[in-house]
């Protein structure tokens, strides 16, 4: 404000000097006119009053213009201050917005990292699930193949005929003495049942069925025949034979009957046995399993 007042003071001084200079010129002219011509003083006074009035009007316009300029300057200053305040507020708002955007970017970055981590975990779980699914599918395929194989084996061994056989087993050692006297009667019963028009297989000629050493027992297994046998691989008649295993003795096979659905084997096998704990356990816990095979097809059973 001091600079502005100094500037206005200088302008007023210049204006005062100009008016003083003009006043001097008017006085000189007035002297000139009063000397050179007869001018009425009254008219001259009126003229001076008129000039003075015009100057006052002119000075009033100048002051009005200066006042208007001052008002405009004040308005501009107020507007400038308002603009500066708005600018400061705008800068502050922009700074707040910038900080919020930076924070939002960090939050979005954290969310993005978390989403990527979750996506990777889901992808890993999906891969593990696919691998396990393939393993389970493979295991199911293997299981199905085994089931089909077992069904095929079951079908191969599903064609059995009716087996009619009998056996006479001796009691354990501790009862052998008590039943020794009944042994001859039992052997006689076996001999009577073995009398048949067919010559039994497995009994040596010239050997008495009832003969045995004193320290051994004899077990006779007879395979008479089968009925209603069918071939598992063809429509032709099978050529069956029977096989079985008893205790620790080698496998025993009957003769093969060619092309017959109702073969009659009439097979007799004698097993000499020494009574002991192993034989006693075997006779009490095991069963005699007979297998019927087709000589034309190894898979027949």
Q: For 123-170, write each residue's pLDDT tens digit.
A: 999 999 999 888 888 888 888 888 888 777 656 555 555 556 565 555
Q: What would the mean pLDDT of 185-206 be, rounded to a whole number?
A: 43
Closest Cα to residue 275, out of 209, 213, 216?
216
Residue ending a domain, choose from 60, 75, 96: 96
pLDDT in the model for residue 297: 67
Rounded to whole angstroms, what are the CA distances from 182 to 18, 186, 212, 218, 283? 177, 6, 15, 14, 20
Q: Coil, strand, or helix at residue 102?
A: helix
The answer to whether residue 54 sits within a structural domain is yes
- The encoded tokens of residue 13 equal 């001084």
The pLDDT tens digits for 44-95 are 667 777 777 777 666 665 666 666 666 676 777 788 888 888 888 888 888 8
Total domains, the chain: 2
Dihedral (CA of 8, 10, 16, 18) sign: negative
The pLDDT tens digits for 198-215 are 444 344 433 444 444 456
Q: How many CA atoms lie within 13 A of 33 on its CB side?
A: 12
| d(C-alpha 80, C-alpha 222), whole Å | 131
- 178 and 88 in one domain? no
- 192 and 278 in one domain? yes
Dihedral (CA of 179, 185, 186, 187) sign: positive
Choice between 180 and 106, residue whose per-residue pLDDT is larger: 106
In the block, residue with structure tokens 């002297």: 31
pLDDT in the model for residue 198: 40
pLDDT in the model for residue 214: 53
The answer to whether residue 117 sits within a structural domain is no
Which helix (H) or strand (E) covers residue 162, if one does? none
Residue ending a domain, choose from 51, 81, 96: 96
Whole-prediction pTM: 0.31
The answer to whether residue 250 sits within a structural domain is yes
Cβ–Cβ < 8 Å for 241, 255: yes
Residue ending a domain, choose from 48, 65, 96: 96
Angle at CA 49, nearest 5°, toward 46 and 50? 85
pLDDT in the model for residue 285: 92
Alpha helices in the chain (DSSP H): 2-36, 41-156, 176-194, 277-285
Cβ–Cβ < 8 Å for 270, 216: no
Buried-state track 95-114, b at ≥16 Cβ within 10 A, e below 16: eeeeeeeeeeeeeeeeeeee
pLDDT in the model for residue 42: 64
The pLDDT tens digits for 212-257 are 445 678 999 999 999 988 877 667 888 888 999 999 898 898 988 9
Phi then psi for 264, rounded to 5 degrees? -120, 105
- Determine if residue 259 is left, alpha or beta; phi over 0 gives left, psi from -120 to 50 gives alpha, anything else beta: left
- pLDDT > 90? residue 270: yes
Burial of 12 (0-12, 13-18, 19+ CB in 10 A): exposed
pLDDT in the model for residue 202: 40
The answer to whether residue 112 sits within a structural domain is no
User: Which range (2-6, 206-210, 276-280) has the least confidence?
Assistant: 206-210
| d(C-alpha 140, C-alpha 291), whole Å | 32
| d(C-alpha 185, C-alpha 220), whole Å | 15
Buried-state track 159-169, b at ≥16 Cβ within 10 A, e below 16: bebeeeeeeee
**pLDDT tier at 16, thresholds 50, 70, 90:** confident
pLDDT in the model for residue 190: 46
Rounded to whole angstroms, what are the CA distances from 187 to 107, 168, 183, 269? 102, 9, 6, 15
Choice between 297 and 25, residue whose per-residue pLDDT is larger: 25
The answer to whether residue 258 sits within a structural domain is yes
Domain CATH code at residue 285: 2.60.40
- 286 and 182 in one domain? yes
Which residue range forms the structural domain that includes residue 217?
173-294
The answer to whether residue 220 sits within a structural domain is yes
**pLDDT tier at 7, thresholds 50, 70, 90:** confident
The pLDDT tens digits for 96-124 are 988 899 898 899 888 888 898 998 999 99
Alpha helices in 157-175 (DSSP H): none
Q: Considering the chain, what percentage of its residues have pLDDT values greater than 70? A: 64
The answer to whether residue 119 sits within a structural domain is no
Closest Cα to residue 59, out of 30, 18, 21, 26?
18
Phi then psi for 199, rounded to 5 degrees? -75, 120
**pLDDT tier at 266, thresholds 50, 70, 90:** very high
The answer to whether residue 35 sits within a structural domain is yes
């Amino acid at each position: 404000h001091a600079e502005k007042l100094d500037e206005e003071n200088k302008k007023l001084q210049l204006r005062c000097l100009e008016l003083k200079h003009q006043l001097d010129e008017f006085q000189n002219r007035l002297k000139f006119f009063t000397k050179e011509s007869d001018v009425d003083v009254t008219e001259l006074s009126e003229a001076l009053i008129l000039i003075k009035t015009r100057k006052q009007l002119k000075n009033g316009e100048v002051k009005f213009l200066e006042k208007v300029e001052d008002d405009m300057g004040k308005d501009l200053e107020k507007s400038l201050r308002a603009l500066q305040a708005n600018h400061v507020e705008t800068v502050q708002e922009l700074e707040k917005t910038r900080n919020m955007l930076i924070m939002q970017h960090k939050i979005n970055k954290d969310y993005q990292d978390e989403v990527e981590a979750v996506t990777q975990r889901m992808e890993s779980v999906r891969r593990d699930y696919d691998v396990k699914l393939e393993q389970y599918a493979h295991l199911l395929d293997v299981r199905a193949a085994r089931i089909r194989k077992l069904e095929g084996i079951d079908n191969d061994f599903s064609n059995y005929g009716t087996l009619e056989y009998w056996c006479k087993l001796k009691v354990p050692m501790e009862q052998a003495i008590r039943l020794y006297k009944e042994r001859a009667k039992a052997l006689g019963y076996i001999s009577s049942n073995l009398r048949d028009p067919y010559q039994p297989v497995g009994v040596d000629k010239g050997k008495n069925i009832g003969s045995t050493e004193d320290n051994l027992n004899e077990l006779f297994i007879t395979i008479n025949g089968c009925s209603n046998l069918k071939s598992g691989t063809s429509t032709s008649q099978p050529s069956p034979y029977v096989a079985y295993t008893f205790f620790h003795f080698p496998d025993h096979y009957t003769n093969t009957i060619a092309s017959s659905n109702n073969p009659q084997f009439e097979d007799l096998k004698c097993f000499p046995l020494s009574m002991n704990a192993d034989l006693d356990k075997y006779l009490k816990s095991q069963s005699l399993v007979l297998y019927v095979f087709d000589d034309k097809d190894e898979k027949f059973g």
